[in-house]
Amino acid sequence: MLNQLSDSAVRKLFICLAVYLVALFSANTLGVKIMPFVFGTHLSVAVFSFPIVFMMTDVIGEVYGRKFARLFVLCGFIATLLFIGYSFLSIAMPWSEAAQWVHASYNTVFGLSIRIAIASVIAFIVGEYQDVFAFFFVRDRWENKGFWLRANLSNVWSQLLDSTLFMVIAFYGVYDTKVLISIILTWWLYKVAIGILCTPLSYLGIYLLREKQA
């Protein structure tokens, strides 16, 4: 696929992949931090980076097509699996006495349970592939409706799947069903809202990628 692109387009594509993976890893690691939000609710700081993951596949799909968007998802999936594997391996290794001061904190931050790790991978792969599917489903039928509609409709659907799958797989039986549904809906609405606010960034990304392409 890359041999069909100019050198400039390939460079931009790899830069986009770097942004995509950084946003993904930021959400998975920095997202442990919870901050206070409106009406006494709480919000993970991952809400600032994770919508970029879905936004990036929309932008790549719009400019380079479905195959490249799916390739980004595959790269993210493999990278997430490797990161989880390295995390478990790092935690399993013995600690030196000189590093005991960070022992507990390190294990708390990177000590993902198998259940949460499985939830993260399944939610990511399903949510991201559905984002690509929904984006092109809308594009193939209503191409004249504009990128903003395709991106936000696919975002609403994919973020619902991502939030539901992750919360159910990771926390079913831990929280009461009503509480779990409340968490799912709240986080879904937060991520959708941030995704909508990021729409201007999507247009900027499309402009930068399409520049000098003609």
Residues whose CB is less than 8 angstroms from the CB of residue 173 and which lie 6 or more positions away in sequence, other chains included:
none
151 contacts 202 by C-beta, under 8 angstroms: yes
Query: Under DSSP, is residue 35 helix (H, G, I), strand (E, B) or coil?
Result: strand
State the total domains in the chain. Answer: 1
Residue 43's beta-bridge partner residues? Answer: 35
pLDDT in tens, 18-60: 999 999 888 877 777 777 877 777 777 887 888 888 889 989 9
Q: Quote the pLDDT of residue 114.
A: 65
Question: Beta strand 42-44 with 34-36: parallel, antiparallel or unpaired?
Answer: antiparallel
- Cβ atoms of 80 and 50 within 8 Å: the answer is no
Domain range for 177? 2-210
pLDDT digits (tens, 9 = 90+) for 64-112: 988 999 999 999 999 888 888 888 888 889 889 898 888 888 877 777 6
Q: pLDDT, tens digit, for every residue of 177-214?
A: 887 888 888 888 888 888 888 888 888 988 988 865 44
How confident is the model at residue 60, as a pLDDT? 93
- Cβ contacts of residue 21 below 8 Å, gap of 6+? 75, 76, 79
Tell me, yes or no, if the pTM score tops 0.85. Answer: no
Give yes or no for residue 143 having a pLDDT over 70. Answer: no
CB neighbourhood size of 189 (10 A): 14
Q: How confident is the model at residue 145 (pLDDT cuts 50, 70, 90)?
A: low
At 203, list the tokens: 């247009």
Which position has the higher pLDDT, 21 or 173? Answer: 21
pLDDT in tens, 113-130: 567 778 888 988 998 888
CATH number of the domain that 97 lies in? 1.10.1760
pLDDT confidence of residue 71: 93
